[in-house]
Structure 1
Amino acid sequence: MYDETTPVLIVGGGVVGLSTSLFLSAHGVRSVLVERHPGTAIHPRAWGWYPRTLELYRSVGLTDAIYAESAGFAGHVLNGKVESLTGREIHMSRIPDEEDVSDISPIERLVSLPQDRIEPLVLDRAYELGADIRFGAELVDLAQDDEGVTATVADRKTGTRRTIRAEYLVAADGTHSPIRERLGIRRHGRGVVRHQMSILFRADLTGPLAGRRFAICQVENDRVEGILGHDDSLGQGTLIVTYHPEKGERPEDFTDERCVELVRAAVGVPDLEVGLRSVMPWEMGALVAERFTDGRIFLVGDAAHVVPPVGGYGANTGIHDAHNLAWKLHAVLTGSASPTLLASYDAERHPVGVTVMTQAGLRLATRGGFATPEQKAAVRDTLMVTFGYVYDSSAVVAEPGDTVPAAPPGPGGIRTAALVDPRQLGGRPGTRAPHVWLRLDGKRISTLDLFGRRPVLLLGSAGEPWRAAATAAAKRLGVDLDVHRIGADLVEDDRPWHDTYGVTAQGAVLVRPDGFVCWRSPADAEPTESTVERVLTALLHP
């Protein structure tokens, strides 16, 4: 009846789709990814990768490759506005060094690396873990029923069609997501903010740069106005300009000849030898899907939320989507959790999507000089946006009298996620588990290195009675559970674990596979099987 079957079908092979494949493969979940394009991205697109994102990649063995690939961008620190690269400097400053967050993360700071350079790294690591990724394969038909999804996929070279039956489908198919449109899922938000054209080109920029290395370079003269970027080879660049459909301007107006002239004007070399690689129209927008799930289909990345690029939140947020969803699919597919767990994906990630869109919009207004005082005051630190979001769902056992501040409503009263200072996380349920350096068998590790494949119960130094209770409860429920005690199998090598996680020496903390705290014991809690069974059931069988 079907040409093939797979537990999970992923549609879309950008950085978010590839990350979904990578995270599922790390869990041992078989999936098939189909991508209509012949390979990974050639446009730089997203550029900066926040420490929280790198923590997720660290959990699947990818950070060393990212560090090595990004080394050439370490000196790209200038923020300038020029008439052209060879013309007058209108403004020039140095971007402040990224904040050192080594006190809260094993990742010290943000890494700069364009998306076209990180995608092959994600792809290679996914392949190493057994991923099935097919480029040049396009979804052409889709049907969903109570038991799964049937997709028709066409080979774009041969036209050959195959039907793939999947238990679940992940739509990572971008801003204009045909899957989202097919499902009739509307989007809310400001909409399209600006129409952009990215001109990717090859040219020798060594002379025009004159030793400078830009992170951001605005160009403005009587022939072109836009953003000019360059890579670490100094032989490739991207010019981003705005066009105005309301004035009758169209992407088709950007002929090869015009694009070459725009690049020459931006560089300031009239006879510059320019080789065009690609010209791509795109929309700067602020939109969030009204829901991220539809039956057995899940939206991730730009299919779920489109945010202005100011702040660099978009791709990072999409990767966090993928990580949140992957462990839940794994738990359900292996029978460790009920399918009801999957409802927590929308409950947790939709408010985050709204919050990130709102924060990026506030930054855009502030940078553009048209933000109100109230809007400026509402802008939150990037660490709060990327580290400090709080989950409120059935997969979190909230504490009585929780002190997490209430989240303000988003546009139209839509629910948002609360944001807290990541240095004040304190082990609250619903927040990312704090980073503390420990030693395991003499090796220095982060607490975050303990999380990834299954739930983890961390015990205080006097919390051994919890171990027997947890082991018995997990066995009865058929749950794989790791248990570690501070001062026994784990030795503190940093600040006190108990203080950081907000429990006594007799306490316990249950951490989900995605590194978020599910539950922690009250100070007077008695270590019983029924208590552990209750919280594991709340997590996996909500």
Structure 2
Amino acid sequence: MHEDTTAGHEDTTPVLVVGAGLVGLSTSLFLSWHGVRHLLVERHAGTSIHPRAWGLYPRTLELLDAVGVTDALLTEAAGFAGHTLNGKVESLAGPEISVTRIPEPEDVGDISPVTRILSLSQDRIEPILLRRARELGADVRFGTELRDPVQDADGVTATLRDRETGAERRVRARYLIAADGARGSVREHLGIARQGRGTIRHQISIVFRADLHGPLRGRRFAVCRIANPLVDGVLGHDDTLRRGTLIITHDPHTDPVTAYTPERCTELVRAAVGVPGLPVTVLSTLPWEMAALVAERYAEGRVFLVGDAAHVIPPVGGYGANTGIQDAHNLAWKLAAVLRGQAGEALLGSYDAERRPVGRATVRQAALRLAARTGKGGGPDDAAVADTLSVMFGYRYRSAAVIADEEEQDRAAPDFADPRTLSGAPGTRVPHLWLGAGDGRTVSTLSLVDRRPLLMAGAKAAEWCDAARAVARRTGIDLDVVRLGDDVTERERSWHDATGVTETGAVLIRPDGFVAWRSTAAQPSPEGVLEDVLNHVLARDES
């Protein structure tokens, strides 16, 4: 991007988001929840009709629950409750090669207030996120293409083109978020390279409509592998049993995408279902690459990459969408704090410092799982495979937005820790505990975290609470304060043990639920200590 001094822009917005896929819509939703005015543009006419990503883990649902969409998602997913078979068949109507039942998900009630995995596809999730974002005031424009983004010291200028009418408008934004996917133009426009194994294989997804009741014979598959002379791929079906997706591998050099005409796709679907002459309507085909890539940086000036624009994760383990949504959540609260004047702009530098190592480590985990699944594992790297809960819950941030304990500052830590061993260390997600609220409700420690940082103090730490309120009044920093025994009470587990502080200690929790700092006990001059901590974590001392 080159400097631009053009004046007279027709639209202005604090944040411009490009791409209304799962991550772009999540970005819009989180920004809306924080009250950040923004514009989201998407070149396609509406949300995706392709299932693409499937399933959200409890950590992701924690974030979405806070903004008010979990109930709607669970309702939408109710029809998939019985889709529990993992099968390999010659065709749906043909012989079974092997069919097993997927084990029940591990109980995570001891580490999260959200105790289940959401089994739902991207095409069904996106409309729910869109509806909620608009309820919260998001300006979302489909059929709108971003062109010629140019940034200078104060913002980004771009042209927005209406793909239906050809009309163009100029827009000026303070920040640009690229959620435009693995093939998006913003990253390439910035000249940001990607590192990693690269393309593993080329895939085509065929979305179709057909009556699958008969061939399914009462079965409901979560995963169904097709293996016959015409089709070697994966067939998925929805809860209506009238819509499916066939995913196959192809070689673009010998078998180009253009060869997949509606007629050929119809025959492939019929072969996969095992019913010659089956009435099939091909709704769409989508070529895509299974790849392992991470951008060399997640930010360039006032432009930020999220989701597949930042990292392409092999679809093994279901990490891609979950990691992207967590990217968006991390960035949204920081942008909100900067735009409200609560934080210095240097806080935004912690987005790359925190999320890129997570993205890199998650790509590696997916690649290790893929190697094991394809029989190419068995080497020393197998010992490095982390369980799914550790990947989703157990990562740790090291950045200027975290003040590490002195004994932890130079200690090497694993990429992913068992979430049941997390103990309130700065840079980790605050442990989940059920607490009693003053109105008789039972709330999670995570539910106490809202749009502002939260100081949570021990049962005998009134000095920390008084200091926090005094600092907030004097500096104008928005800060929530909760004291154990006064505002909330313990239920089963000890809050002090879980967070690693005494009754006179305190923990500062960021709006994303991660511990920014803790003091294991009382300290002299707590007001001065807290002011220094907040100025450091929010980069106010660098403004």
1:532 equivalenced with 2:538 (yes/no)? no
Contact 2:504 2:520 in 1 (8 A): no
**Pairing partner for 1:161 from 168, 173, 196:** 168
Counterpart of 2:476 in structure 1 is: 478
**Pairing partner for 1:347 from 334, 346, 353:** 353
1:371 equivalenced with 2:371 (yes/no)? no
AA of the residue aligned to 1:13? A
- Cα distance in 2 for partners of 1:443, 1:527 equals 35
- Cα distance in 2 for partners of 1:523, 1:489 equals 19
SS in 1 for 2:77: helix
Contact 1:352 1:389 in 2 (8 A): yes
AA of the residue aligned to 1:77? T
AA of the residue aligned to 2:34? H
**Pairing partner for 1:304 from 301, 304, 310:** 310
Aligned-residue offset at 1:494: 3.0
Greater Cα shift, 198-207 or 496-505: 496-505
- Cα distance in 1 for partners of 2:378, 2:227 equals 26
Counterpart of 1:325 in structure 2 is: 331
Write the mapping of 1:515-526 to structure 2, written as runs, cut at 5 A. Answer: 515-523=513-521, 525-526=523-524
Counterpart of 1:414 in structure 2 is: none
Aligned-residue offset at 1:86: 1.0
Counterpart of 1:48 in structure 2 is: 55
Write the mapping of 1:81-160 to structure 2, written as runs, cut at 5 A. Answer: 81-160=88-167
AA of the residue aligned to 2:280? V
Contact 1:404 1:420 in 2 (8 A): no
1:488 equivalenced with 2:486 (yes/no)? yes
Greater Cα shift, 188-197 or 446-455: 446-455
Write the mapping of 1:122-521 to structure 2, written as runs, cut at 5 A. Answer: 122-246=129-253, 248-402=254-408, 406=412, 418-440=415-437, 441-521=439-519
Describe the superposition over 1:155-179 as per-residue Cα deviations: whole angstroms up to 9, x where unpaired: 0000000011000000000001200
TM-aligned CA distance change 1:187 to 1:57, over 3 Å: same
Aligned-residue offset at 1:391: 0.1
Contact 1:9 1:168 in 2 (8 A): yes
Aligned-residue offset at 1:500: 0.9
Aligned-residue offset at 1:439: 2.1
Contact 1:149 1:167 in 2 (8 A): yes
- Cα distance in 2 for partners of 1:275, 1:110 equals 31
Counterpart of 1:412 in structure 2 is: none
Aligned-residue offset at 1:141: 1.5
- Cα distance in 2 for partners of 1:500, 1:437 equals 11
Aligned-residue offset at 1:403: 8.5
Gaps of 5+ in 1: 409-417
SS in 1 for 2:32: helix
AA of the residue aligned to 1:390? R
Contact 1:465 1:527 in 2 (8 A): no
Aligned-residue offset at 1:39: 0.4
Describe the superposition over 1:226-265 as per-residue Cα deviations: whole angstroms up to 9, x where unpaired: 000000000000000000124x210001111110010000
- Cα distance in 1 for partners of 2:480, 2:176 equals 29
Describe the superposition over 1:320-364 as per-residue Cα deviations: whole angstroms up to 9, x where unpaired: 000000000000001000000000000000000101100000000
User: CA RMSD of the aligned region, Å?
Assistant: 1.2
Contact 1:466 1:527 in 2 (8 A): no
- Cα distance in 2 for partners of 1:165, 1:100 equals 47
TM-aligned CA distance change 1:527 to 1:59, over 3 Å: farther
SS in 2 for 1:189: strand
- Cα distance in 2 for partners of 1:163, 1:425 equals 48
Counterpart of 1:2 in structure 2 is: 9
Contact 2:461 2:522 in 1 (8 A): no
Aligned-residue offset at 1:497: 1.0
Contact 1:152 1:164 in 2 (8 A): yes
TM-aligned CA distance change 1:473 to 1:164, over 3 Å: same
Aligned length, in residue pairs? 532
TM-aligned CA distance change 1:282 to 1:404, over 3 Å: farther
Counterpart of 1:61 in structure 2 is: 68
Describe the superposition over 1:339-396 as per-residue Cα deviations: whole angstroms up to 9, x where unpaired: 0000000000000010110000000000001113312211100011000000000000
Describe the superposition over 1:460-510 as per-residue Cα deviations: whole angstroms up to 9, x where unpaired: 111111111111122232200000001111122231111111111111000
Contact 1:227 1:240 in 2 (8 A): yes
SS in 2 for 1:442: coil
TM-aligned CA distance change 1:305 to 1:62, over 3 Å: same
SS in 2 for 1:113: strand
Counterpart of 1:23 in structure 2 is: 30
- Cα distance in 2 for partners of 1:79, 1:373 equals 26
Contact 1:398 1:519 in 2 (8 A): yes
Aligned-residue offset at 1:527: 5.7
Greater Cα shift, 200-209 or 527-536: 527-536
Describe the superposition over 1:380-428 as per-residue Cα deviations: whole angstroms up to 9, x where unpaired: 00011000000000000000112996257xxxxxxxxx21110111101
Contact 1:186 1:290 in 2 (8 A): yes
SS in 2 for 1:342: helix
AA of the residue aligned to 2:56? W
AA of the residue aligned to 2:307? G
- Cα distance in 2 for partners of 1:380, 1:477 equals 43
- Cα distance in 2 for partners of 1:70, 1:437 equals 26
- Cα distance in 1 for partners of 2:461, 2:124 equals 46
- Cα distance in 2 for partners of 1:521, 1:493 equals 23
TM-aligned CA distance change 1:219 to 1:293, over 3 Å: same
Counterpart of 1:38 in structure 2 is: 45
- Cα distance in 2 for partners of 1:514, 1:502 equals 20
- Cα distance in 2 for partners of 1:213, 1:403 equals 50
SS in 2 for 1:34: strand
- Cα distance in 2 for partners of 1:147, 1:386 equals 35
Identity of aligned residues (%): 62
Aligned-residue offset at 1:109: 1.8
Greater Cα shift, 321-330 or 441-450: 441-450
- Cα distance in 1 for partners of 2:483, 2:385 equals 40
TM-aligned CA distance change 1:168 to 1:72, over 3 Å: same
Contact 1:438 1:493 in 2 (8 A): yes
Aligned-residue offset at 1:118: 0.4
Gaps of 5+ in 2: 1-7
SS in 1 for 2:381: helix
AA of the residue aligned to 2:230? R
Contact 2:62 2:113 in 1 (8 A): yes
Contact 2:194 2:293 in 1 (8 A): yes
Aligned-residue offset at 1:528: 1.2
AA of the residue aligned to 2:361? T
